[in-house]
Chain A
């Protein structure tokens, strides 16, 4: 598995300010934990919630650290482990499956030189296999940082997509 070494994310003033802004935008409401964690995840280049951030949120919201980690590990859209700058989420459910999602996965793997579950050495792309995200009318589809790219029925389209992101 070729993964770039990831520096530990520390609680810089800049990051703290970003987290404070997220908490404020959710009215410091502990029930909004999922939305808060998702927004904090978006602030981190490796698209996860680092330990330092989790501890900070626990203290500031406040909410129990165990609840934060329960959520981080229970919900598929949240990660407590570093991912890539662009997690490429390939749908593995039935509609994309019967619309040849297998070829989409193969194309990404061949072009990026990594397998599903791996990250490119520059830390830019991870290939993730995910369940249906409701873009079935555009099958086969992938989702990258919340944006859906559908109708990926040719290799050219996939090459263009990657080129856009680089």
Chain B
């Protein structure tokens, strides 16, 4: 199994992304038409049946999420598409937006119908600004053709989609921060409860999903033959977009069936390492992801399989490092990222990230002591359980897994 599957990406290159007529021509909006004849519960059940997990990184059961969102009472409910895609080495949502913008709108429409929302918000990172005209055009054409607005396709379903921009903040990928950003404020996370599904954007019941998550839905609804369910196994059914980068010959986005081995993804699809190089480490899921080394190559790519191997799917990023970069250099670069991106509200993350950077600098100068290493581990553990949001909780994933996999990096004076 070393092939790509065009299921989620089946529309790529198949239509003019500036033309809704072109999209309709290849069957666009037939999933929406079908959805409008279905009960929301049945749509949620269809998604749950193939165990789709949120594709942003949290991997929450999507069918269950939509079912729960549907059950929340509210005159005015909203759905949000998280297009902030900030994890380094993750660029799959960029491709979904650039190559299949109408499908994303269709997925959001079906989401709105399912959870009984009237408004959809796309929050797209500033760094994808070049895609704004494309999306604005798609929204406008959808409105002109009656796929957005009142009485969609002759039903009493009303839905509007609004495009919002980020302004350069990784933390705005976090749900509550994203919401504050759409509200026109600085993107600082807040405590939960209240949970977003009950009180989110503008204090309304809100359902947030990733670009890829929404993008799957139209294809799933039209999948009469059950093609999607034929891929993968166990908890990981169907296909996944992965973005492979780093020291590989062919970095890129690949849609793979779950169960494809890590080796096949890296060495077949991404062309392997540059000539003469050997593998140092692989980081899964972005900067907030855990790392492994060559021992993981024959692990099938799937939720439980990766978890058992000490890593996780996360954002779908697969970062490959060859022997040209040391583990410590990798950790310091990662740490600089989190120091920059921490919003600064909570002590564990603000101070923890700062001090871990200082400890890593000491390690690089050969001045770290055993007590320093122990303190670094303690701070990392504390951050992972007491930070205000997921950023602080996962910032030290790489460090903690490096301490297990590469203990020699932390050896000082002969002792760890």
Chain A: CB-nearest residue to B329: A97
With contact pairs A75-B186, A75-B187 given, residues A95 and B165 touching in the complex (Cβ less than 8 Å) = no
Q: How far is the CA of A98 from the CA of B90 in the complex (A)?
A: 15
Q: Identify which of A31, A38, A131 contacts B88 (C-beta below 8 A).
A: A131
Q: Tell me if A's interface is mostly helix, strand, loop or mixed.
A: mixed
Whether the Cβ atoms of A134 and B85 lie closer than 8 Å is yes
Whether the Cβ atoms of B183 and A94 lie closer than 8 Å is no
A13 at the interface (CB under 8 A from B): no
Q: How far is the CA of A38 from the CA of B169 in the complex (A)?
A: 14
**A residues 83-137 touching B (CB-CB < 8 Å):** 92-95, 97-99, 130-137
CB contacts (< 8 Å) of B283 on chain A: these are 94
Whether the Cβ atoms of B167 and A134 lie closer than 8 Å is no
0 or 1 for each of B68-97: is its CB under 8 Å from A? (1 = yes): 000000000000000001111111001000
Least Cβ–Cβ distance between A128 and chain B, in angstroms: 11
Whether the Cβ atoms of A147 and B130 lie closer than 8 Å is yes
Whether the Cβ atoms of B184 and A32 lie closer than 8 Å is yes
Least Cβ–Cβ distance between A147 and chain B, in angstroms: 7
B168 at the interface (CB under 8 A from A): yes
A78 at the interface (CB under 8 A from B): yes
Whether the Cβ atoms of B184 and A97 lie closer than 8 Å is no
Least Cβ–Cβ distance between A165 and chain B, in angstroms: 17
Whether the Cβ atoms of A131 and B337 lie closer than 8 Å is yes
CB contacts (< 8 Å) of A74 on chain B: these are 169, 186-188, 343
Interface segment, one of A1-9, A16-24, A63-71, A156-164: A63-71
B351 at the interface (CB under 8 A from A): no
**B residues 120-143 touching A (CB-CB < 8 Å):** 125-130
Whether the Cβ atoms of B168 and A94 lie closer than 8 Å is no
Q: How far is the CA of A133 from the CA of B94 in the complex (A)?
A: 11
CB contacts (< 8 Å) of B88 on chain A: these are 93-95, 131-132, 136
Whether the Cβ atoms of B127 and A143 lie closer than 8 Å is yes
CB contacts (< 8 Å) of A34 on chain B: these are 126, 164-167, 181, 184
Whether the Cβ atoms of B127 and A95 lie closer than 8 Å is no
Whether the Cβ atoms of A95 and B245 lie closer than 8 Å is yes
Whether the Cβ atoms of A134 and B182 lie closer than 8 Å is no
CB contacts (< 8 Å) of B91 on chain A: these are 134-137
CB contacts (< 8 Å) of A67 on chain B: these are 184-185
CB contacts (< 8 Å) of A70 on chain B: these are 185-186
Q: How far is the CA of A30 from the CA of B86 in the complex (A)?
A: 25
Whether the Cβ atoms of A76 and B169 lie closer than 8 Å is yes
**B residues 301-354 touching A (CB-CB < 8 Å):** 319, 321-322, 324-325, 329-330, 333-334, 336-337, 340-341, 343
Chain B: CB-nearest residue to A75: B167
A37 at the interface (CB under 8 A from B): yes
B149 at the interface (CB under 8 A from A): no
Whether the Cβ atoms of A94 and B89 lie closer than 8 Å is yes
CB contacts (< 8 Å) of A37 on chain B: these are 167
Whether the Cβ atoms of A77 and B167 lie closer than 8 Å is yes
Chain B: CB-nearest residue to A143: B127
Least Cβ–Cβ distance between A118 and chain B, in angstroms: 19
With contact pairs A75-B187, A134-B91 given, residues A94 and B167 touching in the complex (Cβ less than 8 Å) = no
Whether the Cβ atoms of A38 and B167 lie closer than 8 Å is yes
**B residues 273-294 touching A (CB-CB < 8 Å):** 283, 287
Whether the Cβ atoms of B130 and A146 lie closer than 8 Å is yes
CB contacts (< 8 Å) of A136 on chain B: these are 88-91, 243, 245-246, 251
Least Cβ–Cβ distance between B293 and chain A, in angstroms: 15
Q: How far is the CA of A94 from the CA of B89 in the complex (A)?
A: 8
CB contacts (< 8 Å) of A76 on chain B: these are 167-169, 340
Whether the Cβ atoms of A137 and B251 lie closer than 8 Å is yes
B170 at the interface (CB under 8 A from A): yes
A139 at the interface (CB under 8 A from B): yes
Least Cβ–Cβ distance between B357 and chain A, in angstroms: 14
Chain A: CB-nearest residue to B320: A98
CB contacts (< 8 Å) of B329 on chain A: these are 97
CB contacts (< 8 Å) of B243 on chain A: these are 136-137
CB contacts (< 8 Å) of A44 on chain B: these are none
A-B contact pairs, 27 of them (CB 8 A): A34-B167, A38-B165, A70-B185, A70-B186, A75-B167, A75-B169, A75-B186, A75-B187, A76-B167, A76-B169, A77-B166, A77-B167, A78-B168, A94-B88, A94-B287, A94-B319, A95-B319, A97-B325, A97-B329, A97-B333, A98-B324, A98-B325, A132-B337, A134-B90, A137-B245, A137-B252, A143-B127
| B positions within 8 Å CB-CB of A | 85-91, 94, 125-130, 164-170, 181-188, 243, 245-247, 251-253, 283, 287, 319, 321-322, 324-325, 329-330, 333-334, 336-337, 340-341, 343
Excluding A74-B343, A93-B287, A136-B88, 11 further A-B contacts by CB distance (< 8 Å) are: A31-B182, A71-B167, A76-B168, A78-B168, A93-B88, A93-B337, A94-B334, A98-B325, A134-B94, A134-B125, A136-B90
